[in-house]
Amino acid sequence: MLIEKTTRAALIAALALATAAAWPRAASAETVLRIGMTAADIPRTLGQPDQGFEGNRFTGLTMYDALTMWDLSSADKPSVVIPGLATEWKVDDADKTKWTFKLRPGVTFHDGSPFNADAVIWNVEKVLKQDAPQFDASQVGVTASRMPTLASAKKIDDMTVELTTKEPDSFLPINLTNLFMASSAKWQALYDKAEGADAKAKSQAAWAAFAKDASGTGPWKMSSFTPRERLELARNASYWDKARVPKVDKMVLLPMPEANARTAALLSGQVDWVEAPAPDALPEIKQRGFVLYTNEEPHVWPWQFSRVEGSPWNDIRVRKAANLCVDREGLKDGLLAGLMVPASGTFEPGHPWRGNPSFQIKYDKPAAQKLMQEAGYGPNKKLTVKVQTSASGSGQMLPLPMNEYLQQALAECYFDVQLDVIEWNTLFTNWRRGVKDPSANGSNATNVTYAAMDPFFALVRFLQSGMAPPVSNNWGFINNPKFDELVKKARQTFDPAARDTALAELHAASVDDAAFLYVAHDVAPRAMSPKVKGFVQPKSWFVDFSPVSMVQ
Amino acid sequence: MLAYIARRIVYVIPIVISVALVCFLLVHITPGDPLVAVLPADASQELAAQLRAAYGFDRPLPVQFGLWLLRALHGDLGNSIATGRPVLAEVMRAVGNTVTLAIAAAIIGFTMGILLGLIAGYFRETWIDKLATSFAIAGVSVPHYWLGMLLVIIFSVELNWLPAVGAGPGGSGAWAWDWAHLQYLVLPAITTSVIPMGIVTRTVRALTGDILSQDFVEALRAKGLRETGVFRHVIKNAAPTALAVMGLQLGYMLGGSILIETVFSWPGSGFLLNSAIFQRDLPLLQGTILVLALFFVFLNLLVDIAQAAIDPRIKRG
């Protein structure tokens, strides 16, 4: 009896001790969100990420802020530009190339240095002023091309800057979402300590050191970094936007370029979230209780037509027929297992830049056949067209099967589609060279997908005649005075609502002209553990990690 | 012996220069823009020219090669275009991870290969031989990336015994030789080991069978030597060829496997090459290929020397 009592007392004491020991740990348990990215390497961490918008998503918008930012709070509404490190901005009434930006007070970088006008000028000059000590060629390409008209920055006072553009450009506030503010104080300290034969070498060394110990103003701070393997970010509890202080303590980003590896890591509990899971594993992912998120992305999977002399696509009836001959719903439900949104233009209804096109892009085979017959083609006289595409590539979805689907669909409307399949980087390079270059290899359409986040990338670079190669991506040399006029109007309309109306007019005109064969929008699938809560997938390439929480 | 080693080292010099030239040319003559990692296709012509000059891609190809080779001889393989980090440091870190994987795979593959080969060779034309040979054929024939995925599905997804991807809970930078880290090595090492296991099994089986049928073995037995003693002679005679095969296999494994390292997200040289290819990061690609090729050259040199040390007939040739 005595032994029994002693044992029970010992057990109770042990239990109490164990509970006491476990209690503080449970109370302060660190919450960690682990994400498997599709990137093969951690995107650059020094402020201007590489690897396209996936880079911006993970190492841009997390650690850094820009003067203007995207609203990522809604899954239903289009993502629009909102104030970021600038609280307000306006263009000069007399000189439309000059803009005044008022900066957000009380913001500090992760290293404690203040964000002010000097920091803005320093960051503009890191990519635009070649003789500035902090000028870094490796950051120029991914930044300057995304804000093509920005020329310089000038300090008005500590919290006001003046930005100057090469020509009047109402898109500037949108373009500035791509210029992330890195800490000049932190960089200068690293520069002072850096070793190098000359100022350029010291600057490179300082940027290399900065990339390992980055400092921005974003909601996440760099915690530890192993190149090519993992980046750990810790919550920035003193983030200036209290509503966006991260809910989890730590976020771990892991590069996993192989879709099956990402999926296995999720299913085995090694990560909590994967980007783009293996498509054929989606039923199993759902069946095991994981959650799949998708939403329409500002992305277009098109055929861009050649419009040079002799191109069969110069006939609008042919362009419209191609757009009417594709059963996009069939493509979505069959080949892509639901992972696409049928495209009826660059922007879908509900988007502020959609407009009201009179040509409705839909599946109407009889109408397509009629248009082709009017254009002089038929079952016995097929129109041969050749499209250049790739077997894989960023944003290309399933390029070969999708093009074969189009090949079969268009055959019913008297098209004989030939595919010229080349390597992705080569296709991308040829895109820039244009249809007149020998690299086009006789093709009269190209299949390069594009991001449609801002007006320049979504419309201007393709539709404006001045953007023909080698200037930009008007691959097919579209030369439509109406487009040129509407681009000019949109760029010179500075009231945001009126600018959006002008952009909607431009978009509607491009749809009415069947400028492209519009096929699909990607839906950015991502799968998550049921422990992940609070995630909102916006209609954007970007997401906000701040509201995400983890339940135990 | 010293003269033989010196001669072999002299042979290495033209090979190294040829390797450097070939790897430089291979990555430069492929189509596409070398600045694709830092220059979007929508960049202006002026910006493209500015960056081309900044990275030295506006210079003639022979000048670019000369400058690169000169820097390489000083141990500087340049900086990665995509990350800005020094190529040599990137490559050495990745090679270190691949060496860890290759050694683990070699231990598994060579041990299994030698054992199965000896057993199959000794029991030739019996069911034991057929079983061991079946293992060898399966090892050589099964696509290793498929096997990797299969192992992940079984041991990571279904049984949850081993991690599916990565090189340790804190990455390879925090690697330690304890179970918490070694468990990350198990599946990639087994996957990497199956091909060498198959090849070594077949080689050792053929050698063992061949040697056992030679007259001197009969003589040894006739002199009353026990089977273990006979076997010692068989192993000694099979060793030079088996060693050469294992050296080559180790070389292949040290080169890293793009497929296996990608399937397991193992941060080795194959994973690095994959990334360099997809980002078209020329300095990184050139540097990685050069370092791996040099590994191969020097490993072959070591194997040649080891063979000469074991078999005196070789150095006489």
A359: closest CA among A514, A518, A463?
A: A514
Using DSSP's 3-state secondary structure scheme, residue A437 falls into coil
Q: Touching check for A431 and chain B: CB below 8 Å?
A: yes
Distance from CA of A461 to the nearest CA of B (A): 8
At A409, which helix (H) or strand (E)? Answer: helix A399-411
* Record: contact B157-A426, CB cut-off 8 A: no
| Strand pairing category for A532-533 and A415-422 | unpaired
Residue A21 pLDDT level (bands cut at 50, 70, 90): very low
A45: closest CA among A201, A240, A255, A195?
A: A255
- Average predicted confidence (pLDDT) for chain A: 91
* Record: contact A267-B263, CB cut-off 8 A: no
Residue A24 pLDDT level (bands cut at 50, 70, 90): very low
Residue in B42, B81, B174 closest to A472 by CB: B42
Residue A22 has pLDDT above 50, yes or no: no
Q: Touching check for A289 and chain B: CB below 8 Å?
A: no
* Record: contact B165-A265, CB cut-off 8 A: yes
Q: Compute the average pLDDT of residues A80-98.
A: 96
Distance, CA of B55 to CA of B48 (rounded, Å): 11
- Range with the poorest average pLDDT among A136-150, A158-172, A497-511, B113-127: A136-150
pLDDT at A367: 98
Which of the 8 DSSP states describes residue A235? E
Cβ neighbours of A144 in B, within 8 Å: 43-44, 47
Q: Compute the average pLDDT of residues A48-57.
A: 88
For A343-360, the pLDDT digits (tens) are 999 999 999 999 999 999
* Record: contact A142-B280, CB cut-off 8 A: no
Question: Following CA atoms A423, A425, A427, A433 in sequence, which dihedral angle do they give, to the nearest 10 degrees?
Answer: -140
Strand positions, DSSP E, A166-298: 220-226, 230-235, 250-255, 273-275, 291-293
Residue A148 pLDDT level (bands cut at 50, 70, 90): confident
Residue A1 has pLDDT above 60, yes or no: no
**Residue of chain A with shortest Cα separation from B162:** A268
Cβ neighbours of A261 in B, within 8 Å: 152, 164-165, 262-265
| Cβ neighbours around A428 below 10 Å, total | 21
Sign of CA dihedral A240, A246, A250, A256: negative
- Range with the poorest average pLDDT among A99-103, A151-155, A396-400, A418-422: A396-400
* Record: contact A226-B33, CB cut-off 8 A: no
At B74, list the tokens.
Answer: 């000083």
A-B Cβ pairs (cutoff 8 Å, strict): 170
At A352, list the tokens.
Answer: 């502020």
CB burial of residue A24 (10 Å; 0-12, 13-18, 19+): exposed
pLDDT at A19: 45
Distance from CA of B75 to the nearest CA of A (A): 16
Residue A31 has pLDDT above 70, yes or no: yes
Q: What is the pTM of this model?
A: 0.85
Residue A392 has pLDDT above 50, yes or no: yes
For A431-448, the pLDDT digits (tens) are 888 999 999 999 999 999
Q: ω into residue A470 within 30 of 0, thus cis?
A: yes
* Record: contact B164-A228, CB cut-off 8 A: no
For A242-297, the pLDDT digits (tens) are 999 999 999 999 998 888 889 999 999 999 999 999 888 899 999 999 999 999 99
Cα distances from B306 to residues A156, B43, B159, B245, in angstroms, run 74, 55, 44, 12
Cβ neighbours of A50 in B, within 8 Å: 37-38, 82-83, 279
pLDDT in tens, chain B (317 residues): 788 888 888 888 888 888 888 888 877 777 666 776 677 666 767 777 777 887 778 888 888 888 888 888 888 888 888 888 889 999 999 999 999 999 999 999 999 999 999 999 988 889 999 999 998 999 889 888 899 999 999 999 999 999 999 998 888 888 888 999 999 999 999 999 999 999 999 999 999 989 988 889 889 889 888 888 888 898 888 888 898 899 888 878 887 788 899 889 999 998 998 888 877 788 888 888 888 888 888 878 887 888 778 777 765 55
Residue A11 has pLDDT above 80, yes or no: no
Distance from CA of B172 to the nearest CA of A (A): 8
For A313-351, the pLDDT digits (tens) are 999 999 999 999 999 999 999 888 889 999 999 999 999
Residue A91 has pLDDT above 80, yes or no: yes
Q: Which ipTM score applies to this complex?
A: 0.80
* Record: contact A50-B38, CB cut-off 8 A: yes
CB burial of residue A532 (10 Å; 0-12, 13-18, 19+): buried
Largest CA distance in chain B: 86
* Record: contact A423-B32, CB cut-off 8 A: yes
Which of the 8 DSSP states describes residue A381? B
Distance, CA of B231 to CA of B148 (rounded, Å): 36
pLDDT at A8: 54
Distance, CA of A32 to CA of A515 (rounded, Å): 47
A507: closest CA among A469, A468, A460?
A: A460
pLDDT at A351: 93
Residue A231 has pLDDT above 60, yes or no: yes
Distance, CA of A300 to CA of A518 (rounded, Å): 7
